[in-house]
Amino acid sequence: MDNITTGPTIGVSTQSVTAHMTLPPMPGLSGVPDLAGLEPMAPLTRRWPSYLGAAVTVVMIVWLALKLRALGVVATWLVMAALILWILFKVITVNG
């Protein structure tokens, strides 16, 4: 069998493939019931919070795009993309 060394017992080897260390108890989880008894949530009856969240997200994305456009980020991105393509073209033509 393989020698297995794990965890804080480095240097101590075990002659088993299934060697494992037991985990210490997690703080704050001693009174938690088993997760196997969970039941599914009831379906949502109000849809407006979902729609409001989606609308706020779209507004934030549009606002960010307008701010980046005002800063000239789009032009900078296009210049960088063109520069990368030019460098690739030069590398291919020199090495090809």
Domain ranges of the chain: 72-96
Please report the sign of the dihedral spanned by the C-alpha atoms of residue 88, residue 90, residue 93, residue 96.
Answer: negative
**What confidence tens digit (pLDDT) does each residue in 25-76 have?**
666 556 666 666 778 878 878 888 889 999 999 999 999 989 888 888 778 8
Q: pTM score, two decimals?
A: 0.39
Taking CA atoms, 43 is separated from 51, 55, 66, 70, 75, in Å, by 16, 21, 37, 43, 46
**What confidence tens digit (pLDDT) does each residue in 61-71 have?**
999 989 888 88
The confidence band for 77, taking pLDDT boundaries of 50, 70 and 90, is confident
Rounded to whole angstroms, the Cα distance separating 53 from 58 reads: 9
